[in-house]
Structure 1
Amino acid sequence: MEEYLQKVLEQIRCKQAKKLVEAELRGHLEEQIAENISSGMNREEAVYAAVQDMGNPVETGVSLDALHKPQICWFMVVMIGIISLLGIGVQTVIGMQNRDLGSSYIFKHVFCVLGGFCLMLFIYRLDYSFLGKHARILALTGGVLWILSRLFFSVSINGTNRWISLPGLGTISISALLYLAIPLYAGILYQYYGQGRAGVLKCILWLLLPVVLAFYLPNLFQAFFLFLVQSCLLTAAICKGWFSVKKGVFLGGFWGIALLLPVVFLGLGIRLHWFASYQTERILHYINSISLGFVQTTGQENPAYHNDLVFGFLGTSYGIMAAILVAALLLALSMKGLHMARKQKNELGTMVGYAGGLFFLFMTLLNILMSVGILPGASSFLPLISSGGSNLFLSYMVLGLLLSVYRYQNLLPTDRKKLRKTSGLLET
């Protein structure tokens, strides 16, 4: 039997697939051997008959090699490339129109796009299942490092300490780094799979951790965004039956509290002076009057038009159809990611895919709603279009995880216990 397995595995080129194929074939052979023994054969005869039934090892290995091989979603890659080129074009025009930005601004954006694209391809080749093994450790370690960076290494830009300075690399947004909590949360949900109400409570506590960090940054939009996306992931896990709780009762209570708490929080925050003065003014202004229609932004009137309000710049400079086209491409990319996640047989892959798809979907929608004045202005970005090195690298990292989910869809076991075993994670 071992010789047969070895011959089959020699035909398979992907190392990750060999573990899966070996486990599957060994299981089938052991089942057939047990059945042959029960029918009256001795051990040696049973093994020989089971191996013969499996067929030619070379032919079997070649067919399994074709089935279990890395894949790449070329549709997504092409879309990412098109949107990236559009982003370069938009930022080039902005850099040429604004003398204060200059050519160095354009070169920096192009460099970040190329670097981010390479980072995406690197992450695409990584086995995303590490999130199912180490998500809590990574989240805890990252949270501690994030707090230390915020306290001791942050630099003030425009009156806020949301950046850290690295020699030779410039400044990195610690606010952008906090968005990595979203894919990590997908892995955390997976690690608490099947733990019932106690597991759900732990997941809620993990959900609140990055939200609290974002609030004390302070970045109210990011706190809201993290809560929204992670709550959707928790809802998906509940609906898929990951936890032994009554779905309707829990989700009704959870979302009821989630919708009520922001109102109470804002009211208490304004009355008890929890917010900075400019934040209170923005909240009150939005409550008193909601402006509709495009924000009339030009380079001379609003310095954020190349980043936060780039959608408004597209609408006012090139017309509504150009802005709609860019929005449609980003939304199509988001929906493709969500569709791909829904089709995954591996549950961890499904949740990681949902994390990436929801990140792009909500960030795109909220940025557009802010640009047209339906939502109050906040520090957001239009993925792959807005300027900002940290946000670009973040976007490409999330896309890399989405592509990794697609790459390994036929290379990882669909069963959770088998996935933990083949990934080297001991059962708890």
Structure 2
Amino acid sequence: MTELRVGLLGLGTIGTGVARILIEQRDLISRRLGKEVRLVAAADRDLNRDRGLDFTGVRISDDANDIVAADDIDLVVELIGGYEPARTFVSAALANGKHVVTANKALIAKHGEELFPVAADKGLQIGFEAAVGGGIPCMKALREGLAANAIESVYGILNGTCNFILTKMENEGADYADVLKEAQALGYAEADPTFDVEGIDTAQKLSILAAMAFGSKIRFEEVFTEGISRITATDIQAANELGYRIKLLGIAKPHGDNGDVDAVEMRVHPTLVPLSSQMAQVSDSYNAVQISGDYVEHTMYFGRGAGERPTASAVVADIMDIASGFPDGIAHLAPPMGFVEASRRDIATMPMADTECEYFIRLMVKDQPGVIASVTSILADHRISLEALTQKERHASHNVPIIMLTHETTEGNMQAAISRIIGLEAVEDDVLILRKESAVA
């Protein structure tokens, strides 16, 4: 029976999960594939920790170079994370003629464009389903199930930490800082939560999804990114009263004429979505991705976006895909980014100022006559019309929260108006604008 020999870099939480599946589900995998997938070797800096697995027959090392250079390994799984030394080891594995599977979204977002051509030139495959959405097969759907469609939009709740925080803030009426501390205590958030709560993690994932959806190069650095740290319980309550829920969304849309994509819109920010939408129902640490195509219309993918078991499941699914064509039939697999490498293009990223949205605006103003008239006059000067306006109860500071929903306008118009509104003597400088997406299914 044909055998695919696997070497594993990293025996942390996800790496241990992958090893567990490869060892404990070996017979199941063989029955599904008609081939053997065998864990030959694993490398980790900590060789003394008990991982609760029987590694009999598996070569264990503290040197990753033993894996990427070994003659008895056909596929390397990189689960170290981060940029380096992961990039160095993946590059070495490809140079040595080995297929690669990774869960490393940072690596793919930053260095994918240098790795994919190398793999293509050598007839090798790079699998990275676990890099976005954990156990949700959203990229496999883009690459294969929706391949006949011109993709019209991608919306995603792609960070479980942020979704957990926003869910708790809504359910308990709690402040952001208090819920963040709870998330850290429960292990959902890191000691330094910046990567998650400021939207960077989501932006990396969105840049990969957008490139896969529209045949463009990955442009992570060009994703407009805002986090959730300025959201208050008052904002969440006000949004609910208006029929919306706040979610940190990654959003990607193509722009162009006659089916040609001339620019890609990519943005990550707290977003108002209708309470009646499926996206609004995604709570706690769950992820969801909505992909819309011209023939399939709306499709939704939901599940755990992180954790040992879901992520390890996605990693092993990639290994099995590669094993299905090994050693001679890798060409039958879809290219890693869903388009043949030679056809992928440098497509411009749409400037954020040109994007069009409806907006939620929260102002704190002094309780005095004429303030609302001054604000609405400035909005009118910038061709921004209002859908709704609500004045909340006065705070102990004697300032009054004003909540407004606007009709559609450009980001440039909105930012110009806000810069003038902040200059009004009666307006505090803590002005919040959130974007609204009514088209979310």
For the superposition of Structure 1 and Structure 2, which TM-score range results when normalised by the shorter chain?
under 0.3
Question: Which is bigger in relative contact order (C-alpha 8 A, separation at least 6)?
Answer: 1
Structure number with the higher strand fraction is 2
TM-score (norm 1): 0.24
Larger Rg: 1
TM-score (norm 2): 0.24
Structure number with the higher helix fraction is 1
